[in-house]
Amino acid sequence: MASFGFLFFLSTILVHLVLITAQADFVDQGCSNIGNYTTNSTYQMNLNFLMSTLSSNASLNDGFYNSTAGENPDKVYALFLCRGDVAPDVCANCVNASRYEIITRCPNQKKATIWYRDCMLRYSNQSMFRVMELIPIAHQPNPRDFSDVEQFNQVLGVLLKDLVTRASSSSSNKKFAIGEADVMNFQKLYGLTQCTPDISESDCNRCLEEAVTYIPECCSGKQGATILKGSCNLRYELYRFYDAPPPSRPIHSCLNTSEVSLDPLDLKYLQIFAFYCNLLLSFLVCRRGDVTSDTCRKCVNTTSHLIVQQCPNKKEANTWVDECMLRYSDRSIFAIMEQEPVLYIFNTLSISGAYQFNQVLGDLFERLTTQAAFGASSSKFATGEANFTEILKVYGLVQCTPDISQGDCNLCLRSALDFIPTCCYGSKGVRINRPSCTMRYELYSFYNLTASVPPVSPPPNSPAPPLTNTEITNGRFIKYHYFGF
């Protein structure tokens, strides 16, 4: 009954899922006080004309473009800079959104700057081409703290120094650099630096170095930060935020390969599903190797109806719940290891002593991964626990679909483990679900060792937390947050 309630809760959330809009990508604006223009003035007409021409040039100029409109004293200068790793269509959409928003947020201002996640747009009544601008400045720190600040700052300093040099000395049309560095164990730090291509190498270097020196003032000890200036920007995080937008597919992954007329009650469909049940029930469909056959059967029955409701007329889909996973496709998926799409769910509460916790977690999952992938059991399933403190244990579970090879199981689980710092660093509980493997850890025993009684519930003061927030991604990742214990 609890599983059905969980499913019902997720299905109601799905109704409200929407793609992240440009508004959600807005970061900050800087409205200058150098002067105002009059409504319906020549300056406003020049500004409106210039704004209307910007987005059409976003896909033609390597993400950077500058132009003017009108004559003095009503001449308007404008430029935009898109993040160096975004696609031309993403750049165009960002510029299109920002050209409207900057007028709304800075009404009648003769000079203004607006920053989005993927682009920056500026306009002024003074020439700003090839002129380094250090103000205005905006910052956006990651709300989470890093446990070992001294070690983190050492790694961050080395990484940013390299990225500043690479961006400012770049011979390409983009003064842009990205990179990563190891912080500890399986934890990486990712960084990005960028300048507008019109400024000199020395000005780019100075702009970025000043942005670096601003970090202790705004964002000391934070797991990530974004610093934005008129001529440059930098960002660093404990997850890879570049090359692909952040985590956008609902929990039921419907792949738009093609569509097919499919009635959930159609006999042909039921026969196909019976094939799943009869041949793959214990491992491909039931993700939790610790659940009883009856629980598994009920879970599969529920998800078989839910998946066709949430992914109507799709030839390929995935659905995950606590006790089982169900997939179907018009192509062979047996004995083929697949790592996408990814569902990750994490507790928003952080563990104190994250560095030591990650060491314990890494050792635990190293043991469980080896046991599941290369052990004698045909279920490719393992559970275990490890002492974090004298009174606190961490419990872990890993599982692969038994149809994949030992090597593929090992690869899938290790990739899932590597994904934890990207999505959920320092979290008290995490689940990573992929089509071919799954892993989970909690600070309470959530699995059933005998599979003859219901799974152990967390203690009364540590209830299994409900999902409370969803973040959509580009079709490769699904993120859920939950609160509790």
What is the pLDDT at residue 185? 63
Buried b (16+ CB within 10 A) or exposed e, 254-265: bbeeeeeeeeee
What is the pLDDT at residue 239? 82
User: Which range marks the domain in which residue 158 is found?
Assistant: 138-237
Cβ atoms within 10 Å, residue 442: 22
Tell me which residue of 69, 73, 79, 66 sits closest to 37, measured CA to CA. 73
Determine the average pLDDT of the residues in 438-446. Answer: 91
Q: Are residues 260 and 231 in the same domain?
A: no
Count of domains observed in the chain: 3
Q: How far is CA 300 from CA 74, 327, 330, 434, in A?
A: 68, 10, 19, 17
Q: Which region among 43-57, 149-163, 309-323, 415-429 has the lowest average model confidence (pLDDT)?
A: 309-323
Q: Are residues 202 and 267 in the same domain?
A: no
Determine the average pLDDT of the residues in 49-77. Answer: 86
Q: What is the mean pLDDT of the chain?
A: 76
Tell me which residue of 483, 366, 350 sits closest to 426, measured CA to CA. 350
Residues 6+ apart with CB under 8 A from 463: 484, 485
In a domain, 1, yes or no: no
Contact (CB, 8 A) for 151 and 41: no
Q: Are residues 308 and 378 in the same domain?
A: yes
% of the chain residues with pLDDT over 70: 76
CATH number at residue 220: 3.30.430.20
* pLDDT, greater one: 296 or 39: 39
Q: Are residues 299 and 256 in the same domain?
A: yes
* pLDDT, greater one: 23 or 177: 177
In a domain, 77, yes or no: yes
Determine the average pLDDT of the residues in 346-369. Answer: 87
Q: Are residues 41 and 149 in the same domain?
A: no
pLDDT level of residue 289 (50, 70, 90 thresholds): low
Residue that is written with structure tokens 């992240």 in the block: 20
In a domain, 204, yes or no: yes
Going across the sheet that includes 26-31, the strands are: 26-31, 112-116, 119-124, 76-82, 64-69
In a domain, 427, yes or no: yes
Which of 214, 237, 260 is at the close of a domain?
237
Rounded to whole angstroms, how far apart are CA atoms 424 and 354? 11
Q: Are residues 406 and 367 in the same domain?
A: yes
The pTM of the full predicted model, rounded to 2 decimals, is: 0.51
Question: 460: number of CA atoms within 13 Å, CB side?
Answer: 0
In a domain, 149, yes or no: yes
Dihedral angle computed from the Cα positions of residues 142, 471, 187 and 435, in that order, rounded to the nearest 10 degrees: 180
In a domain, 229, yes or no: yes
Q: Are residues 287 and 264 in the same domain?
A: yes
How long, in residues, is the chain?
A: 485
Tell me which residue of 356, 360, 477 sits closest to 419, measured CA to CA. 477
Q: Are residues 117 and 148 in the same domain?
A: no
In a domain, 8, yes or no: no
Cβ atoms within 10 Å, residue 21: 9
Which of 112, 129, 146 is at the close of a domain?
129
Q: Which region among 113-122, 268-277, 402-411, 449-458 has the lowest average model confidence (pLDDT)?
A: 268-277
What is the pLDDT at residue 353? 83
Q: Are residues 318 and 444 in the same domain?
A: yes
Residue 259 has pLDDT above 70, yes or no: no
Determine the average pLDDT of the residues in 68-78. Answer: 92
Which of 129, 155, 184 is at the close of a domain?
129
What is the pLDDT at residue 202? 92
User: Which segments of 357-403 are extended strands (E)?
Assistant: 381-387, 393-400
Contact (CB, 8 A) for 187 and 358: yes
Q: Are residues 251 and 351 in the same domain?
A: yes
What is the pLDDT at residue 76? 93
Phi-psi group of 313: left, alpha or beta (phi > 0 → left; psi -120 to 50 → alpha; rest → beta): left
In a domain, 7, yes or no: no
Q: What is the pLDDT of residues 190-234, one digit of tens each?
A: 999 999 999 999 999 999 999 999 999 888 888 889 999 999 999
Q: Are residues 342 and 324 in the same domain?
A: yes
Cis peptide before 73 (omega within 30 of 0): yes
Residues 6+ apart with CB under 8 A from 301: none
What is the pLDDT at residue 460? 41
Q: Are residues 290 and 221 in the same domain?
A: no
